Structure 1
Amino acid sequence: MLMIIDLGLLHIHRDRELRSLAIQIELANSIVRRSEIHRLVAVAPMKVKGLEYLELSARRSGYDIHISPLERVVDIYSIRRAIVLDPYGDQDLRPEDLAWAEAIIIGGIVDRTPIKRATRMLRDMNIPWAPTMRISLRGSIVGVPGEINSIVAIVSRAIETGDLEGAIREAQPARDAVLRASIEIQRILRKTNKDLGFYDLMEIYRSLKTWLNLDELGMLRALIRCGRRDLADLWRRSYMTEKPPQGLESKLYV
């Protein structure tokens, strides 16, 4: 699989963002180089401010930067089946889509104030024929890491295993797991009319950790984040000292 980092908006990056972008691409390339079937390249349409910094990073890391329009690079590699990954894509990415594609195109954008639809804009200017797809986790992009290296890790692992959800969980930083868990906990709380006890919280935790990279501390932070400090205090007091009996089932179903 060829993974292409599109640097079409490199000129908008400030110095701090440029450094973060360079680090993310270097980390992404280190992931790709572990496999003989994947390769990573970056594409910049022209020489712009910041490109020299990335070229130094590329030489250090061992990936190529093409100074050329994206559509020309796609032609050079004879790519006919490409997917543009976009958090606002038209459909959810599936393992079978990865099996179909010859190349995955990832927007090389690191900005403190995200530009909505920036990836789609780059796609429309270069390869409008390529479908845009989003990596989603059980119907939502919340909890899916957005760093380039994390996206590459997810794609690489999903290609190897055919398990996209598992690949997301493996690459998911704790902060993203906590954010998604807090949303799921709020959803559960809205559905139940009873006061929750420790065993109910344990059942929720056990369910969430099957698909989120969530540990006990993450559960505590998720409860705090969703505004339930009472439940967070209960979890803090109990989880270190109490362990529910094996096979105990809560009346609360997630």
Structure 2
Amino acid sequence: MKITFLGTGTSQGIPVITSTHPVCLSTNKKDKRLRVSILVEWEECTYVIDCGPDFRYQMLRANVQKINGVLITHEHADHIAGLDDLRPFCFQIGAVPIFAQKRVLDNLAYRFEYIFNDNYKYPGAPKVIQEVIENKPFTLKNLEIIPIEVMHGELKIFGYRFNNVAYLTDVKTIDSVEKKKLRNLDVLIINAIRFKPHHSHLNLDEALKLIEELKPKKTYLTHISHHLGFHEEVEKTLPKNVFLAYDELVLEI
């Protein structure tokens, strides 16, 4: 399995528009972060998790030639605003499957009516197949996908486990039942937005405590804001099995 970090930033990305924060002015490539998303590849399959406003550039930058579908964690703009840029893949393969909770698909149908409503389509609009998923395992091309229900503040959202890899973003809390799904991981990918507490995201201390509890072999932190600091400085302070993810990082698992 191959995982490519398409974006590792928060809802505004780094640099933030108009910001003069030192991290936003950094010339280090690892301090420049698009909105959070990963590409997951196995056998002949390619799936994207989330489709944010940087989706077009992410596909070009990673030279993605095809996708088999999109898994959505939740309906916030930084995770779904790039849906219109599915069009080239639709021209290539036809309708693109979108996997999400019913609540999320209903929200997308409202916000992207011209895509989801057959009575309101214009020529060239993306074609999608709505795939409703619940909090139970399902299979994509011989690979079992296990949804992980987590709380993003007061909102129930999904992370996903693929074999011994789990991807969780925008997490604030996880109950004990869902934590059981995160045992014996080779790789955990989880958010750590900044040092100060946040009402709907794990900060760094909270993320490290959860990592210590779950005990994955390796962890990569994502959904990072400029308030966490410079990539190279922060990574030096982390436990030996915890790393900051960065855009274009590739994991071969």
TM value normalised by structure 2: 0.29
TM value normalised by structure 1: 0.29
Higher helix share: 1
